[in-house]
Amino acid sequence: MHHFEYRGDVLYCEDVAIPDLAETYGTPLYVYSTATLKRHYRVLSEAFETQSCLIAYSVKANSNLAVLATLASMGAGADVVSGGELYRALKAGIPAEKIVFSGVGKSVSELNAALDAGIHQFNVESIPELHRLSRLAEARGVKAPIALRVNPHVAAGGHANISTGAAEHKFGIAWHEAKDIYKEAMDMPGIQVAGVDVHIGSQITDIAPMRTAFEKVVGLVRELRDMNIPIERIDLGGGLGIPYRDGDVPASPSDYAAMVRDVLGDLDVQVILEPGRMIAGNAGIFISRVEYIKERDGRRFAILDAGMNDLMRPALYQAVHEMKPVVKSASDWTQTYDLVGPICESTDRFAKDYETTELHEGDLVAFMSAGAYGAVMSNQYNTRPICAEVLVDGEQHDLVRRAPTFEEIVSSEQIPKWITS
Ligand SMILES: Cc1ncc(COP(=O)(O)O)c(C=O)c1O
Ligand SMILES: N[C@@H](CCCC[NH3+])C(=O)O
């Protein structure tokens, strides 16, 4: 459920007409709905309300400060994967006690920053990382609460490139070594063993693989407790899929919560969730304007003012974001278009053979479900400024990230003296 609906022929975000936003802020443009963000957070927290649970929003999905502050106001924690994300989460008002730190490559300075902040949990992904963390925490005279991320040999996800739980993937420690590493961790200075962590992939629409992985983890937790290793938390990662097209029906948060309760049985643990896409995905759309319609060799291209640098998911994962005209056409006459951008790459294409009502130069189009892994993965290829982001709340709207000027883009570059002298 989201708050991007037509009123008459015009697409709105909550109480704001999208053409007004395009007029005010220009295109391409990301537009986020506060009500949708809050709703998604609320649905998930209500589904887990009978359980001791920390919802650590996965900052990587959409890390805009305004999005983080909105979720912070709802009580969300954060799952961060870099020093930069830790900085953002704290800056947006998410308390350190609700922050977990994931990722395979945490640097010394990132670990130190997280130790200094006093975060809730380090999700450790390797033995060398455990040793490094132990050393750094000991030097500070503190104990780092850790969960080991296990690789359960259960992979899932909407595309091979966003699946993480198989042996071939770089994530987590080996399943068969887990108990030994926990034993080792128990004796390490600077380490407080707190939990087990798992994350098998993203855009998972079927609960079955999650259940399989979770059952393995719960089995492991019981064995660890039998070994007097005090596991008090299970971090289930993120991964819940969302509907990208009308008719998609992914597993719901309540199905997911029921599965978790069922698998946990009488096991008393804090559950940590790291939802990203589920919170932000359908809370954002991406607006672009048609620059040209070009017909050539039997194909019809709608050339947009947005490119793969703004929304990379189609080029990276062949993802199709449903496209809606911002103002519905007066006629039902449809045409087939290749929806492409201005970038000099053949992968700069949002959709091929996409059937829609007739498009014309100047028309606005909206790509739906673009709130997660959209703006955060944008880049300035072809020296196209990273585009603006707007947050809507009822009738209010404001710029939450402005596009840089060309001058700002080049301001961190310099020409060495030997070239010009
Ligand atoms: C460790 C970890 N946690 C959480 C997430 C968020 O995943 P999603 O956006 O699918 O909920 C990811 C990304 O897949 C991840 O790698
Ligand atoms: N970037 C991916 C999701 C990756 C999740 C990272 N843990 C996507 O757009 O679908």
How much is the pTM?
0.97
**Residue 294 CA to ligand 2 centre (angstroms):** 32
Spell out the domain ranges in the chain. 4-31+282-410, 34-278
The one-digit pLDDT tens for each residue of the chain (421 residues) are 679 999 999 999 999 999 999 999 999 999 999 999 999 999 999 999 999 999 999 999 999 999 999 999 999 999 999 999 999 999 999 999 999 999 999 999 999 999 999 999 999 999 999 999 999 999 999 999 999 999 998 877 777 777 777 778 888 899 999 999 999 999 999 999 999 999 999 999 999 999 999 999 999 999 999 999 999 999 999 999 999 998 899 999 999 999 999 999 999 999 999 999 999 999 999 999 999 999 999 999 999 999 999 999 999 999 999 999 999 998 989 999 999 999 999 999 999 999 999 999 999 999 999 999 999 999 999 999 999 999 999 999 999 999 999 999 999 999 999 999 8
Fold of 4-31+282-410: Lyase, Ornithine Decarboxylase; Chain A, domain 1 (2.40.37)
Minimum CA distance residue for ligand 2 atom 4: 162
CATH 3.90.1860.10 describes domain 34-278 = no
Same fold, 4-31+282-410 and 34-278: no
- Indicate whether this complex's ipTM tops 0.85: yes
Residue 387 appears among annotated catalytic residues: no
- Pocket probe mutation, ligand 1, options 44, 55, 57, 58, max atoms within 8 Å of Cβ: 58
3-state secondary structure the chain: CCCEEEECCEEEECCEEHHHHHHHHCCCEEEEEHHHHHHHHHHHHHHCCCCCEEEEEEHHHCCCHHHHHHHHHHCCEEEECCHHHHHHHHHCCCCHHHEEECCCCCCHHHHHHHHHHCCCEEEECCHHHHHHHHHHHHHHCCCEEEEEEEECCCCCCCCHHHECCCCCCCCCEEHHHHHHHHHHHHCCCCEEEEEEECCCECCECCHHHHHHHHHHHHHHHHHHHHCCCCCCEEECCCCECCCCCCCCCCCCHHHHHHHHHHHHCCCCCEEEECCCHHHHHHHEEEEEEEEEEEEECCEEEEEECCCCCCCCHHHHHCCCCCEEECECCCCCCEEEEEEECCCCCCCCEEEEEEEEECCCCCCEEEECCCCCCCHHHCCCHHHCCCCEEEEEECCEEEEEECCCCHHHHHCCCCCCHHHHC
Counting from 1 in the atom list of ligand 2, the atom nearest the Cα of 377 is 1
